[in-house]
Amino acid sequence: MTETPKHLEPRWPAMLALLAVGGLRLALPESLSAGPAWLLIAVVAVLMIPTVWARYREMDMLNKMLGYVLTSIVTLDMVWSLYLLIAALPSKKEAPQDLLRSAAALWLANILVFASWYWRLDAGGPRARELRGVHTDGAFLFPQMVLDQQAKREMGEQCWSPGFVDYLFLAFNTSTAFSPTDSPVLSRWAKLLMMVQALISFATVALLAARAVNIL
């Protein structure tokens, strides 16, 4: 039986990210969201209870599946809100400040949602990375992965493994520079996800710019 590493990757940053997405939904008018503004954050909070329970009971498969369900719900809600935002532009029923606030909230949500997906899918997910202890292979080539053993020892990175902040930085770069700046993408599924994230980011930034110059 594989021994669990003593230093487990903290899961609270990923949980806070999904709660933050639910909080950002409160910035959207109800016409640009599915259901009441508080609905998403309530669903996320409720689903986190069995997810955390499965994590501490070491029910890895259940924890993994609940994590996928939770992240999928948040993703679908974000995509639906983006669709409603784009559809609302020609009618000009929403106030300009509401559209600007909604586009900014969706841009931030896009970063958090895709950071959660990268964190959850890369190299088998967080639990698989924990069990391996040292991260040497995955969908992204992080700078620490190309260091030689001596450099890793000198930097104290012999047992380095990416955490949520590493994937958050990757997602932030994708939404701002529209490309990974320090971590080349190796996997095809990761390339596809990053293309989708960049497209969503570009769409929301274009909406912000268009409203800013009052051309819509």
Residue 7, domain member (yes or no):
no
- The helix (H) or strand (E) run that includes residue 12 is helix 12-24
151 vs 149: CA distance, rounded Å: 5
pLDDT cut 90: percent of the chain above it: 46
Angle between helices 12-24 and 39-56 (to 10 degrees): 170
- Residue 73 falls within a domain, yes or no? yes
Lowest pLDDT segment from 1-5, 115-119, 124-128: 1-5
In a domain, 26, yes or no: yes
Please check whether residue 30 lies inside any domain of the structure. yes
Q: Which of 70-84, 105-119, 141-155 has the lowest mean pLDDT?
A: 141-155
Is 79 within a domain? yes
Q: Distance (Å, rounded) from C-alpha 10 to C-alpha 118?
A: 16
For the chain, the domain total comes to 1
Q: How high is the pLDDT of residue 118?
A: 96
Mean pLDDT over residues 206-212, rounded?
68
Q: Give 33-44 pLDDT, tens digit per residue.
A: 888 889 999 999
Residue 52 is assigned to a structural domain of this protein:
yes
Mean pLDDT, residues 204-211 taken together: 73
Inside any domain, residue 174:
yes
pLDDT over 50 (residue 3): no
Report the pLDDT averaged over residues 118-143. 89
Domain of residue 115, residue span? 12-212
Q: What is the pTM of this model?
A: 0.88
Is the pLDDT higher at 113 or at 98?
Answer: 113
Q: Looking at residues 61-73, what average pLDDT do you find?
A: 94
Q: Does 2 fall in a domain?
A: no
pLDDT at 91: 72
